[in-house]
Amino acid sequence: MMKHEIAVIPGDGIGPEVIQEGVKVLKSAEDSVEGLNLDLEEFPYGADRYLENEELLPEEGLDKLSKKDAIYLGALGDPRVPTGVLEQEILLKLRFYFDQYINLRPIKLYPNVPCPLADKGPEDIDFYVVRENTEDFYVALGGRAKGKTKETLKISRSIYEAKFDLDIDVDGDELAYQIGLISRRGAERAIRFAFNLAEEKEKDRLTSVDKANVLSHSYGLWREVFEEVAEDYPEIETEFSFVDAITMWFVKSPEYYETVVTPNMFGDIITDLGATLQGGLGLAPGGNINPDGVSMFEPIHGSAPKYKGQNKANPVATILAGQMMLEQLGEKEAADKVEQAVVEVLAEGEVRTYDLGGDSTTSEVGDAVSEKVKEI
Ligand code: IPM
Ligand code: MN
């Protein structure tokens, strides 16, 4: 086993509180797994730093982060900063800079966690969503035009360059546009990752989500690529689902789903629904993965500024993000211990935060999981 260098970005709102518990659990895993060596370094990016010196994510910070083996992130977003600045200039910038083209979001309901669906239990809710993470409407290509406007939109990504010359005449009206891009290579790498995951985890029905009946240019290409890649995996059952339909089916028959692959934007939306099925945002982790580069792990919830500093937020999503990070780093034994510890603490049901009907604090949950890790 080798040493893993990990950057920790606590971020904003409840980020620092939940990441503190995630780090506590990682240290406990380090103490109880022989040879596991985690070297953590904290980076202060977020609202405070931005308000202090207008710095978001400096070049020199990116250099340092690129030498790490993984990034462990709390949450970003703060009401003192205009909406979108921290999210786009830190979170999305990290995803794009490190070309983390997969956003892996396991949807798993653990025993003794309340589920909002009547008559559904842990045996019914256990699937993966693979969200493409660098394309679609997230490329931030767009603008506004009034009257006659000439615009050139440019984009430079690790896998393509694109330039659009627009000549707009809206005759006194105003127009806003946002362009969603899907590239063949971008779709292919995400779809292939999903097929491989379906194979590896033996979750061998792969559902591809799109809206190719309406947005037929971009999602038409997505579909075409899916069909081509599927030919390499004859043992995996495949199907297409429109995004509107899948929100209904997730609620009606979650047990049907095994692995789901989706373009970026739809993936964002359906995984909040998925998180609710698994007991709420307090339990849902995600991994922004570049299989050949620096990956970043975070809870999928936001910074919940309203709960900041109250030691109230559920740290389980962040702890499970730490577990995904250990798995990605090849530390299977430690990852399994962390998951088992979470499962046991949830099953016992004595230490749990308000969202699960308990009254424990964030740090009490972190302590309980850390203790369990040592006992397992
Ligand atoms: C998520 C979040 C982000 C996203 C925001 C904060 C930019 O909602 O990770 O799901 O849209 O991807
Ligand atoms: Mn989201």
Domains annotated for the chain, with CATH where assigned, are: 1-99+285-376 (3.40.718.10), 115-135+182-278 (3.40.50), 137-179 (no CATH)
Residue with tokens 């559920």: 314
C-alpha distance across the termini of the chain, in Å: 20
Token digits for 91? 């979170």
- The single residue of 211, 308, 354, 355 carrying the catalytic annotation is 211
Q: Which ligand is nearest to the CA of 77?
A: 1
Q: What's the DSSP call for residue 109?
A: P
Are 105 and 317 in contact, with CB atoms under 8 Å apart?
no
Rounded Cα distance, 120 and 265, in Å = 27
Provide the pLDDT for residue 2: 79
Residue 229 is predicted with a pLDDT of: 98
Provide DSSP, 220-241: HHHHHHHHHHHTT-TTSEEEEE
Query: Ligand 1 pocket test: which of 73, 91, 264, 318 has the largest number of ligand atoms within 8 Å of its C-beta?
Result: 91
| Per-residue model confidence (pLDDT) at position 350 | 98
Torsion of CA 214, 216, 220, 223, to 10 degrees: 0
Cβ of residue 91 lying under 6 Å from some atom of ligand 1: yes
List, for residues 75-109, the tens digit of each pLDDT value.
999 999 999 999 999 999 999 999 999 999 999 99
Give the chain's residues under pLDDT 50: none
**Shortest-distance ligand to the CA of residue 93:** 1
The span from the CA of 353 to the CA of 343, in Å, is: 15
Q: How far apart are CA 149 and CA 151, in angstroms?
A: 6
- Whether 359 is catalytic: no
Q: Which atom of ligand 1 is least distant from the CA of 84?
A: 7
- Per-residue model confidence as pLDDT tens digits over 205-221: 999 999 999 999 999 99
Nearest alpha-carbon partner for 25 in 339, 343, 253: 339
Tell me whether residue 41 is exposed, middle or buried, using C-beta atoms within 10 angstroms of its C-beta: 0 to 12, 13 to 18, 19 or more. exposed
Q: Which amino acid is at 28?
A: S
Residue with the smallest CA separation from ligand 1 atom 9 is: 300
Residue 342 confidence (pLDDT): 98
pTM higher than 0.85 for the full model? yes
pLDDT at 61: 97
